[in-house]
Amino acid sequence: MSTTPGQPCSYLPSQTASLDYRIHLTIAAADYAALLERGWRRHGMHFFRPACPVCTACRPLRVDVANFRPTRSQRRCLNRNADVEWLVREPTLTEEHVRLYNAWHADMHVRSGWPFRRATAEEYFQSFLIGRWDFAREICYFRGGRLAGVGLVDALPRALSSVYFYHDPAWRPLGPGTFTVLKEIEYARQSGRDYVYLGYWIEQCPSMSYKNRFGPHEILAGRSAETDSPRWLTAEDSPAG
């Protein structure tokens, strides 16, 4: 395991960010599940978790699938997207994937100032598909028969972990981010999984603060060593709840 040098945080610019990270080309689902329970995330072959020297704003959050109930606003989102079809399959790479990924990044460049460089098919493969992951899946969303969004997820025995989501900018007004989280929860329930891991919740960052709207949920307390039992707190138990 290595730790990155401190640098300005992309979520909270006033803070200094650092990550613990490791690289795996393959990993058993049970070993990955143990990392996930301790706050680790996966992006391609990179596994990471915050190791910031002072700030602890990034808090791993997971949704309790069995007890989840959509809010009134979330039900309206489902109704607005009633015509959207979705399909779960192994991750793939097509021209349409790359086109959609680049269109989304170009839109975020304009909206949020993200740096933009058009990705090639090889770069997409290196970012998302390299490695051997029996648990990797993609949820494809179609509007009018055309690919409108792709959600990359990890389907572990007891949990589903959201990895990355991108979508057609024209879909944005209908709330695709909320809709796809709801569909991930639905898929987890259908497949008998207990949790959906939504990554890091950052209360002070608008682009990350939405995650606690999916409830009930639990938040990881502190930073657990691999030999420790992780302690997940409900909203009632958590000081930030």
Contacting residues for 52 by C-beta, under 8 A, at least 6 apart: 6, 9, 15, 16, 17, 18, 58
pLDDT higher than threshold 90 for residue 203:
no
Q: Where do the domains of the chain lie?
A: 2-234
Structural element, H or E, at residue 130: none
pLDDT higher than threshold 50 for residue 240:
no
- Contact present, 238 and 221 (Cβ < 8 Å): yes
> According to the model, what pLDDT value does residue 105 have?
87
CATH code, residues 2-234: 3.40.630.30
pLDDT higher than threshold 80 for residue 238:
no
Quote the CA–CA distance of 186 and 65 in Å, as a whole number: 8
Handedness of CA 146, 147, 149, 155 (dihedral sign): positive
> According to the model, what pLDDT value does residue 1 have?
75
Quote the CA–CA distance of 210 and 46 in Å, as a whole number: 25
Quote the CA–CA distance of 20 and 194 in Å, as a whole number: 27
Q: How far apart are the first and last CA of the chain?
A: 31
> According to the model, what pLDDT value does residue 225 have?
74
Q: Which amino acid is at 27?
A: I
Please give the DSSP secondary-structure letter assigned to residue 151.
E
Quote the CA–CA distance of 48 and 135 in Å, as a whole number: 18
* Structure confidence by residue, pLDDT tens digits, 178-197: 999 999 999 999 999 999 99
Tell me the pLDDT band of 164, cut-offs 50, 70 and 90.
very high
Place of tokens 């990890």: 154
